[in-house]
Amino acid sequence: MAPPSADFEVSQPASPTPTKARTIPEIKKSVAGLTQSASFPAPLGYSGSLDHYESFDVTSVIGREFPKLQLTDILSDDAKVRDLAILVSQRGVVFFRNQSIGIEDQKVLGQKFGELTGKPASSKLHKHALSNSKRGIAVDENGKLDDEVSVISSEQAKKLYKDRFFGTKRLASEGWHADITFERTPSDYAILKIIKTPEDVGGDTLWASGYEAFDRLSPVWQRFAEGLTATHYQPNFNKVALEHKLELLEEDRGAPKNTGIDFTASHPVVRTNPVTGWKSLFGAGHQVHAGWIDNVTETESEVIKAYFLKLIAENHDLQVRFKWNINDLAIWDNRSVFHTATYDYEDVRQGNRVVSLREKPFYNPASKSRREALFGAGH
- Does residue 18 lie within any of the structural domains? no
Closest to 110 in 3D by CA, of 354, 360, 358: 354
Do 123 and 358 meet the contact criterion of CB atoms below 8 Å apart?
Answer: yes
Do 364 and 275 meet the contact criterion of CB atoms below 8 Å apart?
Answer: no
3-state secondary structure of 192: strand
pLDDT score recorded for residue 134: 82
The Cα 324–Cα 199 span in angstroms is 12
pLDDT score recorded for residue 166: 66
- Does residue 379 lie within any of the structural domains? no
The Cα 278–Cα 294 span in angstroms is 23
Beta-carbon contacts of 226 under 8 Å, excluding residues fewer than 6 positions away, are: 268, 269, 270, 279, 363, 365
pLDDT score recorded for residue 141: 84
The Cα 59–Cα 320 span in angstroms is 7
What is the extent of the structural domain holding 203?
Answer: 24-369
Beta-carbon contacts of 25 under 8 Å, excluding residues fewer than 6 positions away, are: none
The Cα 256–Cα 245 span in angstroms is 26
Closest to 333 in 3D by CA, of 276, 375, 254, 284: 276
pLDDT below 70 — which residues of the chain?
A: 1-38, 163-167, 377-379
Q: CA–CA distance from 341 to each of 116, 177, 324, 347 (Å)?
A: 29, 10, 11, 15
Give residue 308's Cα distance to chain centre: 16
- Does residue 1 lie within any of the structural domains? no
- Does residue 377 lie within any of the structural domains? no
C-beta neighbour count of 244 within 10 angstroms? 10
pLDDT tens, residue by residue, 33-74: 333 335 899 999 999 999 999 999 999 999 999 999 999 999
- Does residue 349 lie within any of the structural domains? yes
State the burial class of residue 237 (Cβ atoms within 10 Å of its Cβ: 0-12, 13-18, 19+).
buried
DSSP state of 289: T
- Does residue 246 lie within any of the structural domains? yes
Closest to 93 in 3D by CA, of 284, 270, 275, 339: 339
Beta-carbon contacts of 245 under 8 Å, excluding residues fewer than 6 positions away, are: none
pLDDT score recorded for residue 197: 94
The CA-based diameter of the chain, rounded to the nearest angstrom, is 58
- Does residue 11 lie within any of the structural domains? no
* Residue ranges in the chain assigned as alpha helix (H): 24-37, 78-91, 103-116, 154-161, 210-215, 219-226, 236-244, 298-314, 370-375
3-state secondary structure of 298: helix
The total of structural domains in the chain comes to: 1
CATH at residue 294: 3.60.130.10
- Does residue 320 lie within any of the structural domains? yes
